[in-house]
Amino acid sequence: MTEQKKDLSKGISVIICCHNSAGKLLPTLKALSVQENTPGIAYEIILVDNNSTDDTVTIATNNWKQFGKPFPLTIVEEKKTGLSNARIRGIHASHYEYLVFCDDDNWLCKDYLNIVCSIFEDKPEVAMIGGFGSAALDKEAPEWFKNTNGFGYAIGCEGRQTGYADSVYGAGMAVRKKMLQALNDGNISFILSDRVGKNLSSGGDSEMCVLVRASEKKIWFDERLQFVHQLPQSRINWPYYRRLRYAFGSSGVYLNLYNEDFIIPKRNVAFRNLIYYCIRYGHLILLGNFLKKEKYAYAMQHLGMLATLYIENDAIKKKLPIAVKNKRYLAALASL
């Protein structure tokens, strides 16, 4: 991204990354078409077609015309599959100093972009902003979904209140473009990646939050920034949720590399810890196939952590110097 070091124009670029999004894109664009606007602040949409094989582009173009094209919509292609790759392509194509990552199934409230802009203008120390999500389901939420408060689905506030926060959701995340340029100028090597295809292992958004904090910039959560997260029935089932929680445990291991108190266990110790956990708490893992409660979901998350520490022990050790290098480099960004 080094080619975009020039001064940036005042405005917001909304980046929507799409892979076969034809069936869910319409309400997302509809919500964007009615965004309130402050005079002197420009908006644009950068829609990244990430190897779609359906009518995503046609539907986006035709419906944006029907909505009156309130601001420019630009279609760009990214052939390399994966959310991170699509986002980078969208960032390169964007023109404005503030970026909003709007997933193809996010419906932003009508003053979302306006509020994002006002926060960035009023708080120069803030580099990242996030909001409050609510779920749109195909049918009534199952009991386990209610009992877990939809944890893991980018809904609710997860204990946050309006103000500074340690992290925010990737859905609806707003970032200063200069911060992303600093993170992607060749001096930062990300440890985690965002999802590719059906693989639930992710954490790229969480790592970005960690890196922003390491640069001594602030993250802001605002309850006024509300969005609806459309969740298809295929994602609201217990086996999927257990896989999701396992993935959280796995990615959490790598994020812990940024914690100075974190000690990577030796491979034989990691194996012993994994076996001990399976012997002592194996009933929680097995019963979790049938009993849909939070403690059984957490057992899978903890299993994901311990299994990753053993199975990927060598890979984790190789990532540690990268985390150390990232933190040292980011210390120099305090004056960005």
Q: Looking at residues 143-148, what average pLDDT do you find?
A: 95
What's the whole-number average pLDDT of the chain?
A: 91
pTM of the model: 0.90
CATH superfamily membership of 2-233 = Spore Coat Polysaccharide Biosynthesis Protein SpsA; Chain A (3.90.550.10)
> pLDDT tens, 6-41?
456 889 999 999 999 999 999 999 999 999 988 889
pLDDT at residue 198, as a whole number: 56
Percent of the chain with pLDDT over 90: 77
Residue 1: the pLDDT is 40
State the sign of the Cα–Cα–Cα–Cα dihedral 91, 96, 100, 105.
negative
> What pLDDT does residue 232 have?
93
- Confidence at residue 5, expressed as pLDDT on a 0 to 100 scale: 43
Using a pLDDT cut of 70, give the percent of the chain over it. 92
- Residue 329, pLDDT score: 83
The CATH 3.90.550.10 domain(s) of the chain lie at: 2-233
The 3-state secondary structure of the chain reads CHHHCCCCEEEEEEEEEECCCCCCHHHHHHHHHCCCCCCCCEEEEEEEECCCCCCHHHHHHHHHHHCCCCCCEEEEECCCCCHHHHHHHHHHHCCEEEEEECCCCEEECCCHHHHHHHHHHHCCCEEEEEEEEEEEECCCCCHHHHHCCCCCCCCECCCCCCEECCCCCCCCEEEEHHHHHHHCCCCCCCCCCCCCCCCCCCCHHHHHHHHHHHCCCEEEEEEEEEEEEEECHHHCCHHHHHHHHHHHHHHHHHHHHHCCCCCCCCHHHHHHHHHHHHHHHHHHHHHCCCCCCHHHHHHHHHHHHHHHHHHCHHHHHHHHHHHHHHHHHHHHHCCC
Give the pLDDT confidence score for residue 192 in this predicted structure. Answer: 84
Which tens digits make up the pLDDT trace of 76-133? 999 988 888 888 899 999 999 999 999 999 999 999 999 999 999 999 999 999 999 9
